[in-house]
A and B are shown apart, each in its own frame.
Chain A
Amino acid sequence: MSLRIVVCVKYVPDAAGDREFAEDLTVDREAADGLLSELDEYAVEQALQISEESGDAEVTVVTVGPEDARDAVRKALSMGADKAVHVEDEDIHGSDVAGTSLVLAKAIEKTGYDLVVCGMASTDGTMGVLPAMLAERLGVPQATLLSEVSVADGKVTGRRDGEAATEHLEAALPALVSVTDQSGEARYPSFKGIMAAKKKPVEELDLDDLDLEAEQVGLEGAWTKVEEANERPARTAGTVVKDEGEGGKQLAEFLAGQKLL
């Protein structure tokens, strides 16, 4: 039977734009244009490489997000994924990572999988914890933060460059991996890929389809609450001097003045 690969991709506000909070202190998705989280492109890329290597695999991208999240899905499909699942429900708005991981777990179980591939972190929340939570919920091994990954003989192996050491990991499928931006540049969608993506199936699911109740997710079901969000005062512009041959000395003078020397 073919290898079923599911890739979790997130639609995020563009980091280059003005990211803001909405009145309910959730991320304001109107304020900035959205796109497929750049760090999830690496996940799609690795999934496609594993699929190509296996010769008999199917890559499904799964996203939980608002209507516009379809853009993220379409990008992943035009890179080469075979089909997509988009979970959208008003009641999901404001979910924290506990809620999102619950919805994703249900959607992935419904889809069926041998390997789940996640990005290392979303570029908006940058928590980097969803993959571990998802593995816990799915009850499968996690091989996370990999900079190298491959699948053979029913096992996934990879390299994790941790804080204190580089580790080689191995887990039997079904398993979950997350990949870093060191795993290899993501491909650009080709024109053919973009055209093909338009015909690929996108399954739309809501909470009912996943046997979930509104109070399990969303702002109400969240296990955390943002009480305040304050714009950080812009750093007051400091002194900028042009080096006329004494720049290093001036800098030392400044540091000494700040008691940093």
Chain B
Amino acid sequence: MAEVLIYVDHVDGAVRKPTLELLTLARRLGEPVAVHLGPGAEEAAKVLGEHGATRVLAADAPEFADYLVVPKVAALKAAYDAVSPAAVLVPSSGEGKEIAARLAVRLESGLITDAVDVEPGDEGPVATQSVFAAAYTTRSRITRGTPVITVKPNSAAPEAASAAGTVEQLPVEFDDAARGTKVTSRTPRESTGRPELTEAAIVVSGGRGVNGAENFPVIEALADSLGAAVGASRAAVDAGWYPHSNQVGQTGKSVSPQLYIAAGISGAIQHRAGMQTSKTIVAINKDSEAPIFDLVDYGVVGDLFNVLPQLTEEVKTRKG
């Protein structure tokens, strides 16, 4: 059976959920072979094996942390040469897309980014994408080379599937190009203890209507009662009320949770681009004419400072 390469997104061996989703999609196309770069391969291999990875090709070298993107491309190319896979799947993060892009050029292969689904087809994998701020859905395939596809988080439910997950060392050589861009310092983002925005099942976002950093605890309190991640519109981020890493939209994160709650957000096209594929959408806004209400499954026209605390209390009571 054909093999499919999966690029593993992890933090020191803790595999992130989107990678497990990739494994689920990859199994439709062939036998998943995971590529693990950096520390923690043994730990990761357990989880990867439980989700269907037959082999885990592992490489660790200081270059992966010391230089931007290109060393990882070199490693993925080495894995490609060793495996001759039917397709390469990479999680759709900023970095993942860049790795995939450079690999595609090296392989002279077509590239599809931000797929929300991947299925086998007569002429190779068919990828579904959501385009023009989710106004259209396209189905595309690659017509040249080995398909390289980046897949958005929350595109599939990770399924357990037991496989060997055998760790094999992957030899990688780095040329000068791999050492072109030096990472002179790195400050890891501090964990808030809340779920990752792109992976969360529920997201509660606040916009300009929150009216100040000092009011964001109203959003956070609701999020915490629901076990949700916190998002923000660009207006709230630009005003300095919430970190940019929490921005939802075209130039922020793109989210697709089971439930998206927008409070004090008008629903501009650039914001919608990042949340329109959410399963259920709820909005609270003072203005009954706000465009966000065109999208909602349930909307409340009202003051978020009245509605959210009441909702938070009610959630707490019901969850007991």
With the chains together, A248 CA to B111 CA distance in Å?
A: 45
Chain A residues 153-200 with CB under 8 Å of chain B are: 157, 160-172, 175, 180-182
B137, A229: Cβ atoms closer than 8 Å: yes
Contact for B183 among A132, A137, A169, CB less than 8 A:
A169
A226 touches B140 (CB 8 A): yes
Binary interface profile of B, 173-184, with partner A (CB < 8 Å = 1, else 0)?
A: 000010011111
Q: Which A residues lie within 8 Å of B109 (CB)?
A: 223
Tell which of A19, A39, A166, A223 touches B251, judged by Cβ atoms closer than 8 Å.
A39
> Hey, which chain A residues are within 8 Å of B244, CB to CB?
147, 161, 182
**Which residues of A lie under 8 Å from residue B276 when comparing CB positions?**
235
Whether B143 sits at the interface, judged by CB under 8 Å, is: yes
In the complex, which range does the number of interface residues on chain A fall in?
Answer: 35 or more
Q: Is A240 within 8 A of B301, CB to CB?
A: yes
Q: Is the CB of B270 within 8 A of A129?
A: no
Contact A239 B298 (CB under 8 A): yes
Q: Which listed segment binds B: A49-57, A85-93, A96-104, A201-209?
A: A96-104
Q: Taking the complex as formed, is B259 at the interface, i.e. its CB lies under 8 A from any CB of chain A?
A: yes
Partner of A238, one of B185, B251, B273, B296: B296
**CB neighbours of B111 from chain A (8 A):** 96-98, 129, 223-224
Cβ contact within 8 Å between B98 and A243 = no
Which residue of A162, A238, A245 contacts B299 across the interface (Cβ within 8 Å)?
A: A238
CA of A15 to CA of B310, assembled, Å: 37
Q: Pick the residue among A161, A164, A229, A260 that contacts B202 (CB under 8 A).
A: A260
| B contact face: mostly helix, strand, loop, or mixed | mixed
Minimum CB–CB distance for A239 against chain B, Å: 5
CB distance from A172 to the nearest CB of B (A): 8
Residues of A within 8 A of B188 (CB): 164-165
Chain A residue nearest to B270 (CB atoms) is A15
| Residue among A126, A237, A256 with max Cβ neighbours from chain B (10 Å) | A126
Contact B94 A166, beta carbon cutoff 8 Å: no
Number of interface residues of B (CB under 8 A): 92
A135 to B73, CA, bound (A): 13
Of the stretches A2-10, A108-116, A138-146, the one at the interface is A138-146
Shortest CB-to-CB span from A81 to chain B, Å, is: 23
Given A141-B180, A142-B69, A167-B185: A261 in contact with B318 (beta carbons within 8 A):
yes
**Per-residue B-contact encoding for A116-136, CB less than 8 Å = 1, 0 else:** 000011011011111111011
Q: Evaluate whether A232 and B294 lie within 8 angstroms (CB atoms) in the complex, with A248-B313, A260-B258 already known.
A: no
B110 within 8 A of A: yes
Give the chain A neighbours of B288 by CB distance below 8 A.
240, 242
Interface string of B102-134 (1 = CB under 8 A from A): 101110111111100000000000100011111
Within 8 A of A (CB), among B287-320: 288, 293-303, 306-315, 318-319
User: B136 near A251 (CB under 8 angstroms)?
Assistant: no
Contact B101 A224 (CB under 8 A): no
Given contacts A141-B180, A229-B137, contact A136 B308 (CB under 8 A): no
Query: Cα distance A157–B181 when bound, in Å?
Result: 9
Chain A residues whose CB sits within 8 angstroms of the CB of B307 once the complex forms: 243, 247-248, 251
Confirm or deny: B93 has a beta carbon within 8 angstroms of a beta carbon on chain A: yes
When the two chains form their complex, are residues B250 and A232 in contact, meaning their CB atoms are under 8 A apart?
Answer: no
Which chain B positions have C-beta within 8 A of A214? none
The chain A residue with its CB closest to the CB of B107 is: A223
Contact for A225 among B94, B105, B141, CB less than 8 A: B141
Check B282 for interface membership: any CB of A closer than 8 A: yes
Docked pose: A39 CA to B137 CA in angstroms: 23
Q: Are B319 and A261 in contact (CB under 8 A)?
A: yes
- Give Cα A248 to B319, complex, Å: 15
Contact between B68 and A143, CB atoms less than 8 A apart: yes
> B280 to A258, Cβ gap below 8 A?
yes
In the bound assembly, the distance between CA atoms of A182 and B280 in angstroms comes to: 30
Q: Shortest CB–CB separation between residue A198 and chain B, in angstroms?
A: 31
Q: Would you call A167 and B142 a contact (CB within 8 A)?
A: no
Q: Are B258 and A248 in contact (CB under 8 A)?
A: no
Are B141 and A166 in contact, CB atoms less than 8 angstroms apart?
Answer: no
Contact of A126 among B140, B273, B312 (CB under 8 A): B273
A241, CB-defined interface residue at 8 Å: yes
19 intermolecular pairs with C-beta atoms under 8 Å apart? A25-B138, A98-B105, A129-B100, A163-B189, A165-B189, A166-B186, A168-B184, A171-B182, A224-B140, A238-B299, A240-B298, A241-B298, A243-B307, A247-B284, A247-B300, A251-B300, A258-B280, A260-B258, A261-B319
